[in-house]
Protein backbone atom coordinates (compact mmCIF):
# COMPACT_ATOMS: atom_id res chain seq x y z
CA UNK A 1 0.00 0.00 0.00
CA UNK A 2 2.77 2.47 0.89
CA UNK A 3 4.62 1.52 -2.29
CA UNK A 4 1.94 3.27 -4.32
CA UNK A 5 2.89 6.59 -2.73
CA UNK A 6 6.60 6.23 -3.50
CA UNK A 7 6.42 8.04 -6.92
CA UNK A 8 4.54 10.93 -5.30
CA UNK A 9 7.05 11.21 -2.47
CA UNK A 10 9.92 11.02 -4.95
CA UNK A 11 8.32 13.77 -7.04
CA UNK A 12 7.85 16.00 -3.98
CA UNK A 13 11.44 15.40 -2.87
CA UNK A 14 12.88 16.25 -6.29
CA UNK A 15 10.65 19.34 -6.56
CA UNK A 16 11.74 20.48 -3.10
CA UNK A 17 15.43 20.00 -3.91
CA UNK A 18 15.08 21.88 -7.21
CA UNK A 19 13.17 24.72 -5.52
CA UNK A 20 15.72 25.12 -2.73
CA UNK A 21 18.62 24.88 -5.19
CA UNK A 22 17.15 27.63 -7.38
CA UNK A 23 16.65 29.91 -4.36
CA UNK A 24 20.20 29.34 -3.13
CA UNK A 25 21.73 29.78 -6.60
CA UNK A 26 19.75 32.98 -7.18
CA UNK A 27 20.89 34.39 -3.86
CA UNK A 28 24.54 33.43 -4.41
CA UNK A 29 24.65 34.76 -7.98
CA UNK A 30 22.87 37.93 -6.90
CA UNK A 31 25.49 38.63 -4.25
CA UNK A 32 28.40 37.68 -6.50
CA UNK A 33 27.29 39.73 -9.50
CA UNK A 34 26.32 42.83 -7.51
CA UNK A 35 29.23 42.65 -5.09
CA UNK A 36 26.79 42.59 -2.12
CA UNK A 37 26.46 46.39 -2.17
CA UNK A 38 23.49 48.46 -1.14
CA UNK A 39 21.74 49.80 -4.19
CA UNK A 40 20.11 53.23 -3.86
CA UNK A 41 17.95 52.60 -6.92
CA UNK A 42 16.19 49.76 -5.14
CA UNK A 43 15.14 52.13 -2.37
CA UNK A 44 13.99 54.93 -4.67
CA UNK A 45 10.28 55.57 -5.37
CA UNK A 46 9.14 53.34 -8.18
CA UNK A 47 5.50 53.22 -9.26
CA UNK A 48 3.77 54.40 -6.12
CA UNK A 49 5.27 57.92 -6.18
CA UNK A 50 6.42 58.11 -2.58
CA UNK A 51 9.44 56.91 -0.62
CA UNK A 52 9.47 53.21 0.18
CA UNK A 53 10.50 53.31 3.84
CA UNK A 54 8.64 56.14 5.51
CA UNK A 55 5.79 56.38 7.97
CA UNK A 56 2.87 54.18 6.90
CA UNK A 57 0.38 56.86 7.97
CA UNK A 58 1.64 59.54 5.61
CA UNK A 59 -0.77 61.21 3.22
CA UNK A 60 -0.44 60.44 -0.45
CA UNK A 61 -2.08 61.49 -3.65
CA UNK A 62 -5.18 59.48 -4.52
CA UNK A 63 -4.82 60.36 -8.20
CA UNK A 64 -2.23 57.61 -8.55
CA UNK A 65 -4.87 55.02 -7.68
CA UNK A 66 -7.36 56.70 -9.99
CA UNK A 67 -4.91 56.37 -12.87
CA UNK A 68 -4.29 52.73 -11.94
CA UNK A 69 -8.01 51.95 -11.89
CA UNK A 70 -8.53 53.71 -15.22
CA UNK A 71 -5.65 51.73 -16.71
CA UNK A 72 -7.19 48.47 -15.56
CA UNK A 73 -10.62 49.44 -16.87
CA UNK A 74 -9.33 50.38 -20.32
CA UNK A 75 -6.88 47.50 -20.41
CA UNK A 76 -9.61 44.96 -19.78
CA UNK A 77 -11.20 45.82 -23.09
CA UNK A 78 -8.47 43.71 -24.70
CA UNK A 79 -9.98 40.68 -22.97
CA UNK A 80 -13.08 41.27 -25.10
CA UNK A 81 -11.38 42.39 -28.32
CA UNK A 82 -9.10 39.34 -28.76
CA UNK A 83 -11.85 36.68 -28.76
CA UNK A 84 -13.94 38.91 -31.00
CA UNK A 85 -11.04 39.23 -33.45
CA UNK A 86 -10.59 35.44 -33.55
CA UNK A 87 -14.17 34.79 -34.68
CA UNK A 88 -14.71 38.07 -36.53
CA UNK A 89 -15.61 36.40 -39.85
CA UNK A 90 -18.21 34.15 -38.21
CA UNK A 91 -19.98 37.05 -36.50
CA UNK A 92 -20.53 39.09 -39.63
CA UNK A 93 -21.85 42.64 -39.62
CA UNK A 94 -23.83 42.22 -36.41
CA UNK A 95 -20.62 41.39 -34.52
CA UNK A 96 -18.93 44.38 -36.10
CA UNK A 97 -21.74 46.70 -35.01
CA UNK A 98 -21.76 45.27 -31.48
CA UNK A 99 -18.00 45.74 -31.12
CA UNK A 100 -18.32 49.24 -32.55
CA UNK A 101 -20.91 50.07 -29.86
CA UNK A 102 -18.66 48.57 -27.17
CA UNK A 103 -15.60 50.52 -28.30
CA UNK A 104 -17.71 53.65 -28.74
CA UNK A 105 -18.84 53.42 -25.12
CA UNK A 106 -15.23 53.01 -24.02
CA UNK A 107 -14.18 56.06 -26.03
CA UNK A 108 -17.10 58.00 -24.55
CA UNK A 109 -15.94 57.02 -21.04
CA UNK A 110 -12.39 58.03 -21.89
CA UNK A 111 -13.52 61.43 -23.17
CA UNK A 112 -15.60 61.93 -20.00
CA UNK A 113 -12.62 61.13 -17.76
CA UNK A 114 -10.39 63.37 -19.86
CA UNK A 115 -12.82 66.31 -19.71
CA UNK A 116 -13.21 65.89 -15.93
CA UNK A 117 -9.42 66.32 -15.60
CA UNK A 118 -8.77 62.93 -14.03
CA UNK A 119 -5.79 62.37 -16.33
CA UNK A 120 -4.08 65.65 -15.37
CA UNK A 121 -1.01 65.24 -13.19
CA UNK A 122 0.28 68.41 -11.54
Residue-wise pLDDT for 54-64, tens only, equals 566 667 677 77
Does residue 50 sit within a domain?
A: no
Instruction: Give the number of other Cβ atoms within 10 Å of residue 70's Cβ.
Output: 15
- Distance set, CA 95 to CA 2, 13, 44, 80, 101 (Å): 58, 52, 48, 12, 10
Cβ atoms of residues 78 and 103 within 8 Å: no
Number of domains in the chain: 1
> What pTM value is reported for the model?
0.45
Do the domain assignments include residue 9? no
The pLDDT of residue 85 is 86
In a domain, 97, yes or no: yes
Residue 93 lies in a domain: yes
Asked if residue 119 is part of any domain, the answer here is yes
**Residue 72, domain extent:** 61-122
Q: Is residue 5 part of a domain?
A: no
Q: From residue 66, how far is each of 48, 56, 118 by CA, in Å?
A: 12, 20, 8
Amino acid sequence: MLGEYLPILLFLAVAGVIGIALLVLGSVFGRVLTGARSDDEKLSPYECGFEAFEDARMQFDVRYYLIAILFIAFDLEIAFVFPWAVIFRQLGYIGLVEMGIFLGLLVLGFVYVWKKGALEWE
